Copies of this chain bind each other. A is one copy, B any other.
Amino acid sequence: MRRTSFEHAECPIARSLDVIGDWWSLLIVRDAFGGKRKFGDFQKNLGIAKNILAARLRSLVSHGILTLEAAEDGSPYQEYGLTAKGRDLFYVLVALRQWGDRHLFETEDVAPELLDRQLHRPVGQLELHAADGRLLRPGDTMLRRRRCEALNGA
């Protein structure tokens, strides 16, 4: 592991990156969203070395992002599935997808489109709103260290 000094970082971004900030974890989660469930599915689709994939899947399971359960379709093997915590990475994946769409594609090659499953129409951009509903843009926010009630006794 790297960045040991951040293991108990107070910053949630650093903590998140310690869990899913490596080269493969988010791609595995992306494929899990895409319906992949078996070791071989991930391996073939990602082209990742099998030992690395095994280590990543183990890590994701140990962090409660994936579960490893017996397959329901009768196959004798086990399947990896997203937990609620793993499904909640949806917004991280969408943010990465939309940033990549906006900044990493030329007009020639076009990214696949993210569609609403009901309407089959493109979804909007991720939005962050203030308490009063105003749309917030980059730089419209600040951080405040939250007060720790545990410090002064009760």
Complex copy number for this chain: 2
The residues of B that contact A30 with a CB separation of less than 8 Å are 11, 13
The residues of B that contact A17 with a CB separation of less than 8 Å are 23, 26-27, 96
Inter-chain contact A104/B136, CB cutoff 8 Å: no
Q: A112-B145, A146-B110 are in contact. Are A100 and B23 (CB under 8 A)?
A: no
Instruction: Report the interface size for chain A: residues with CB under 8 A from the other chain.
Output: 81
| Nearest Cβ on chain B to A118's Cβ, whole angstroms | 7
Inter-chain contact B92/A11, CB cutoff 8 Å: no
Query: For residue A12, which residue of chain B has the nearest CB?
Result: B100
> 16 A-B Cβ contacts within 8 A?
A10-B112, A13-B93, A13-B96, A16-B97, A16-B104, A21-B23, A22-B23, A34-B143, A88-B138, A91-B138, A113-B144, A116-B136, A117-B141, A119-B132, A126-B126, A126-B127
The 5 closest A-B pairs by CB, nearest first: A12-B100, A90-B138, A16-B100, A116-B130, A95-B95
Chain A residues packing against B (C-beta within 8 Å): 2-3, 5, 8, 10-17, 19, 21-23, 26-27, 30, 33-34, 47, 64, 85, 87-105, 108-124, 126-132, 134, 136-146, 148, 150
